[in-house]
Amino acid sequence: MVLDHTGDVSHSPLHLRDRSVPVPEAGQVLVNIHVCGVCRTDLHVVEGELPNTSFPLIPGHQAVGTVTQAGGGVTDIHEGDRVGIAWLQGTCGQCEFCTSGRENLCLEATFTGYQVDGGYAEYAVVPARFAYPIPSIFSDEEAAPLLCAGIIGYRALRLSGIKPGQRLGLYGFGASAHIAIQIARHWGCQVYVSSLKPEHQALARQLGAVWVGGAMDMPPDKLHGSIIFAPAGELVPPALRALERGGTLALAGIHMSPIPSLDYDRDVFGERVIRSVTANTRQDGIDLLREAAAIPIKPNTVRFRLEEANRALQELKAGSFQGAAVLKI
């Protein structure tokens, strides 16, 4: 499914097209893709909310498939291995960020389905060092949303500073949040969920939230850490007010609407912290897949055919399904 130019998803900007099978270069592997998750970042790419997109482009960055060919110099991944392709696909490896365990901040990073072709296709190439072995406990469909929704949710949990047994707030309850709550519950956290959609609220209750309210409702208890998954800047002030003194609010989206002005005494004072979540490191992915397999995480998925990618994005934008959408290739 190819994007020639950005446009509102209601106009179905993706088109089914035959392309040549890519050839892996040195250090790369060719993956025959089985499934690809549909992410809100894909929506931001397709609708032009992220800058510097290359066209024509195949979106998608939560792909799971089988290696069919390895380029020169690849020794640790073999034909027949099942691997995942995630958002981060390349870094310079030499800057201060790459050499200090913060490769997610590399200014020369490249991203799957944004600057290079991604997983809304039968085949894709990826550098072998950015291909994730998929634990056997997961089916292809279960593994796909872990590769972004899961990894970003996991990094957001870490950056929120939440500790086992503490109170965690989640704002928005889509693909990432429905995985994050399972990890937080495994850690023994009490999870408070604010969400617009009744069906998302129902899933939050089913997954063990101790309190569920509307998007702007104030939880009954002060929270030690919170994550905003919804791309809605207007949630930041009430989320800060709901924090305990010294708490951290993590903003997990790659794009967010403008944040209203903050009242220092009411919203920030008391050493409350607000921080963004920017992409992920490979170690985040490795750690998330290991922990997800140990729990084990059970993503809630809704299947679409590859040629239904426009409809999947439309329903994602409308919040019409629970959990994560997955394209079956």
Where residue 13 sits, what CATH number does that domain have? 3.90.180.10
What is residue 7's predicted lDDT score, i.e. its pLDDT? 95
Average pLDDT over residues 200-208: 96
- 52 pLDDT higher than 90: no
Same domain flag for 268 and 284 = no
Same domain flag for 142 and 163 = no
Same domain flag for 37 and 136 = yes
Same domain flag for 35 and 85 = yes
Enumerate residues 6+ apart whose C-beta is below 8 A from 136.
Answer: none
- 54 pLDDT higher than 90: no
Same domain flag for 159 and 109 = no
Nearest to 187 by CA among 165, 205, 206, 161: 165
Residue 218 domain boundaries: 151-276
Dihedrals phi, psi of 298, to nearest 5 degrees: -125, 90
Same domain flag for 108 and 141 = yes
Where residue 232 sits, what CATH number does that domain have? 3.40.50.720
Domains: count for the chain: 2
**C-beta separation of 242 from 213 below 8 A:** no
85 forms beta bridges with 63, 131
The position carrying tokens 């993590």 is 250
Same domain flag for 208 and 249 = yes
Same domain flag for 158 and 130 = no
Which of 237, 258, 276 is at the close of a domain?
276
Q: What is the pLDDT of residues 219-249, one digit of tens each?
A: 999 999 999 999 999 999 999 999 999 999 9
Which of 236, 252, 276 is at the close of a domain?
276
Average pLDDT, the chain: 97
DSSP string, 181-209: HHHHHHTT-EEEEE-S-HHHHHHHHHTT-
Integer Cα distance of 165 and 188 in angstroms: 5
Same domain flag for 208 and 242 = yes
Q: What is the pLDDT of residues 102-146, one digit of tens each?
A: 999 999 999 999 999 999 999 999 999 999 999 999 999 999 999
What is residue 204's predicted lDDT score, i.e. its pLDDT? 97
- 178 pLDDT higher than 90: yes
Same domain flag for 18 and 93 = yes
Same domain flag for 16 and 116 = yes
State which H helix or E strand residue 286 sits in.
helix 282-294
What is residue 325's predicted lDDT score, i.e. its pLDDT? 97
Which of 276, 302, 320 is at the close of a domain?
276
User: Global pTM?
Assistant: 0.93
Same domain flag for 222 and 304 = no
